[in-house]
Structure 1
């Protein structure tokens, strides 16, 4: 199937993909732009996995102050080189994640930082709730695992639905930037301040 240059340009404008990547994705998707976008998204996640072990010793602190001046967010995002840290895409990522911190007020960076006593307390509450509801013992643990994942989505920055696109998590947005910028990127800390 011959792919038109207009379709390639449209896909590139929507995704930021390179010309050959966009062409290959459209060929894989038989010219369907939505399928090509999904193909690029999956390819981006694979790229992110291959870069995950690379060290990140550069980066920047992004900030966002809400319009009322009473709430601000800071986020430290690391990357591999100062060249990437100075790009508009990286600066925008840091700003947008700081905005997300202001809007969503996460408690933890990721699930590994949730204290075990908090997890245990949540499990006790969930078990009692399931017992009251009369759920069979055999499925309670699966339900509890699902409820814990929901807890992480609500309280852990990287698991939260991204404030500017709730179909993606903050982690998904970071992985898209890893694929786009070609370097490992990690959020290493955040803070939210309010009056």
Structure 2
């Protein structure tokens, strides 16, 4: 016989996981009311469900924007789902806004995921790491392991999906997406994004006031 689970516990679990009410109740019953174990059950279920949906075509969605305080940094991101129905859901729009905010908060991020990183970037990172002084006296086997480990670490720093979610340090962006796939029942993909920084790419003109004063004086003489 299953134990009775209070609505308050179900609501608490739902707020922490984003899973449906019935799924939360079942997970709590399965784990005798243990919140931590119930969260693990939902996470495993959600990841499995998300993995199954990850290859489905997602062509609907939204283009979301985020302008940081002071209007000096801006982001546009395209977030895709499978149907217009999900694209209109408030949860989907909050996710898009959170992702845009995440991009603005991560100046080093350049790619959606590791799969989006081009071969030239990968090869350049391998070359840089292989030429470092501290590897000269290492054997080839150990040297290669260190290089690959360092390159993977460096590439993850520029991959959006590998970033820690700024609103929940226990989640990566990849896990955040998968939770919403489980919650909304559709595949969700970050297709592309663009960051804008005020004045980026422009050479700022600086002037030396003392030089300007001297030039004026010289003209007067």
Give me the TM-score of the superposition, normalised by structure 1.
0.90
2:155 match:
152
- Identify which range, 97-106 or 34-43, moves more after superposition: 34-43
Q: Residues of 2 paired with 1:62 and 1:3: CA distance?
A: 42
Q: Residues of 2 paired with 1:112 and 1:53: CA distance?
A: 14
Structure 1: gaps (5+ residues): none
Cα shift at 1:65: 0.3
2:87·2:93 contact (CA, 8 Å) conserved in 1?
yes
SS in 1 for 2:171: strand
Greater gyration radius: 2
Cα shift at 1:136: 4.0
Structure 2: gaps (5+ residues): 199-221
1:3·1:23 contact (CA, 8 Å) conserved in 2?
no
2:41 match:
39
Q: Residues of 2 paired with 1:35 and 1:17: CA distance?
A: 14
Cα shift at 1:15: 2.3
2:65·2:74 contact (CA, 8 Å) conserved in 1?
yes
Matches within 5 A, 1:114-193: 114-129=117-132, 130-132=134-136, 134-193=137-196
2:113·2:162 contact (CA, 8 Å) conserved in 1?
yes
Alpha-carbon spacing, 1:145–1:26, altered in 2? closer, same or farther (3 Å): farther
Q: Residues of 2 paired with 1:141 and 1:33: CA distance?
A: 43
2:74·2:197 contact (CA, 8 Å) conserved in 1?
yes
Q: Does 1:93 align with 2:121?
A: no
2:5·2:28 contact (CA, 8 Å) conserved in 1?
no
1:4 match:
5
More strand as a share of residues: 1
1:29 match:
31
2:5·2:29 contact (CA, 8 Å) conserved in 1?
no
The superposition leaves residues 126-159 of structure 1 with CA deviations (integer Å, 9 ceiling, x where unpaired) of 2233514x44433333333322221222101122
Q: Residues of 1 paired with 2:64 and 2:35: CA distance?
A: 33
Q: Residues of 2 paired with 1:167 and 1:19: CA distance?
A: 22
Alignment coverage as a number of residue pairs: 194
- Identify which range, 183-192 or 152-161, moves more after superposition: 152-161
- Provide the aligned C-alpha RMSD in A: 1.8
Give me the TM-score of the superposition, normalised by structure 2.
0.80
SS in 2 for 1:166: coil
SS in 2 for 1:11: helix
Runs of 4+ in 1 over 6 A off after TM superposition: none
